[in-house]
């Protein structure tokens, strides 16, 4: 009886070590995430200051963006993020097949963002709108470009996680890797949501 209670306690402890770890994943990766969010916060301040100075230019430029594509990108990243969260939950439970399918779906859906983004940028360039058209479009191309770089790194991380799950057992180290990758991928989602609201939705005048 006593052994059974001890086994239960051990199981509960190991569960809490993975389920309730705050923050999830490697604590160091949060330094990267927080530093990155600070950099983007500065970008948002720059954009806000520019919009206050030139509200008409910003509003006219905003109306040239395709809100439907922006919304599609948001939904794509949110869906991909939901699959990532599913993969993290499955990894914590030690369910390898569900982890792999979650990661695979997060990757597959996430790749659609790259396609729509390429489509959106090429449409803008074909209309003669580029990096130096005006301040709004400078920020539009730079911010979405830097965000896209984060997206590409995230896709690389998802590929790496799938390879690791295929190769190694789902131990606590693996779970930590998946949680860290998940935290990064959610940051990519979050930054896009703010970019979407700031560039596509908020009226300047």
Partner 1 sequence: MEGKVDTRYWRFCLWMGPTFVLVFFLCWGVLGHNFPPFPPDTPASEVAGWFRENHNGVKLGMVIAMTFAPAYGVWGYALAKILGQVIRDEHNIIVQLARLGAAWTTMAILIATSFWLTAAFRPDALPDWMIQLLYDMAWLLIDLAYAVTSVQLFALGIGFLADKREVPLIPKWLAWYGIWVGFMFAAECLMPYFMNGAFARNGILNFWIEFLIWMVWVPYLTICGFKAIGRIEQE
Report DSSP letters for 106-171, one per residue: HHHHHHHHHHHHHHHHHHHHHTT--TTS-HHHHHHHHHHHHHHHHHHHHHHHHHHHHHHHHHS---
The reply on whether position 128 binds partner 1 by CB under 8 A is no
H helix or E strand, kind and range, residue 10: helix 2-19
Distance of CA 160 to the CA centre of its chain: 16
Q: Which of 46, 78, 193, 194 binds partner 1 (CB under 8 A)?
A: 46
* Least CB distance to partner 1 at residue 54 (A): 13
Residue 32 sits in the site that holds partner 1 (CB under 8 A): yes
Query: If binding is defined by CB under 8 A, does position 44 make contact with partner 1?
Result: no
Residue 126 interacts with partner 1 (CB under 8 A)?
Answer: no
Name the minimum Å distance from CB 108 to partner 1. 25
SS3 201: helix
Distance CA 26, CA 20 (A): 13
Does residue number 163 form part of the binding site for partner 1 (CB under 8 A)? Answer: no
**Size of interface with partner 1, in residues (CB under 8 A):** 21
3-class SS letters over 160-172: HHHHHHHHCCCCH
Place of tokens 């040239």: 64
Our CB check for partner 1 shows the closer of 54 and 95 to be: 54
Q: Is 142 in the site for partner 1 (CB under 8 A)?
A: yes
Yes or no: say if 102 and 90 are a contact pair by the CB < 8 Å rule: yes
State which of positions 54-93 bind partner 1 (CB under 8 A): none
The yes or no reply on residue 160 touching partner 1 (CB under 8 A) is no
Respond yes or no on whether the N-terminal peptide bond of residue 23 is cis (omega within 30° of 0). yes
Of these, 28, 56, 68, 167, which contacts partner 1 (CB under 8 A)? 28
In the set 1, 128, 132, 167, which binds partner 1 (CB under 8 A)? 132
Residue ranges binding partner 1 (CB under 8 A)? 26-32, 35-36, 39, 42-43, 46, 131-132, 135, 138, 142, 146, 149, 153
């Amino acid at each position: 009886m006593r052994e059974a209670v001890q086994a239960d306690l051990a199981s509960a402890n190991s569960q809490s070590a993975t389920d309730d770890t705050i923050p999830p994943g490697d604590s160091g990766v949060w330094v990267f995430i927080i530093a990155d969010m600070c950099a983007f916060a500065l970008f948002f301040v720059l954009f806000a200051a520019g919009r206050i100075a030139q509200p008409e230019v910003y509003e006219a430029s905003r109306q040239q963006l395709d809100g439907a594509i922006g919304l599609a990108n948001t939904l794509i990243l949110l869906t991909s993020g939901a699959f990532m969260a599913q993969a993290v939950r499955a990894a914590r439970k030690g369910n390898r097949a569900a982890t792999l399918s979650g990661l695979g779906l997060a990757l597959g859906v996430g790749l659609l963002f790259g396609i729509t983004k390429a489509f959106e940028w090429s449409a803008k360039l074909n209309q003669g709108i580029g990096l130096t058209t005006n301040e709004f479009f400078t920020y539009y191309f730079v911010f979405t470009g830097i965000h896209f770089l984060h997206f590409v790194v995230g896709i690389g991380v998802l590929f790496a996680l799938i390879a690791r799950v295929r190769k190694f057992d789902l131990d606590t180290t693996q779970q930590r890797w998946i949680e860290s990758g998940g935290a990064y991928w959610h940051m990519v989602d979050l930054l896009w949501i703010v970019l979407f609201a700031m560039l596509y939705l908020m009226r300047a005048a």
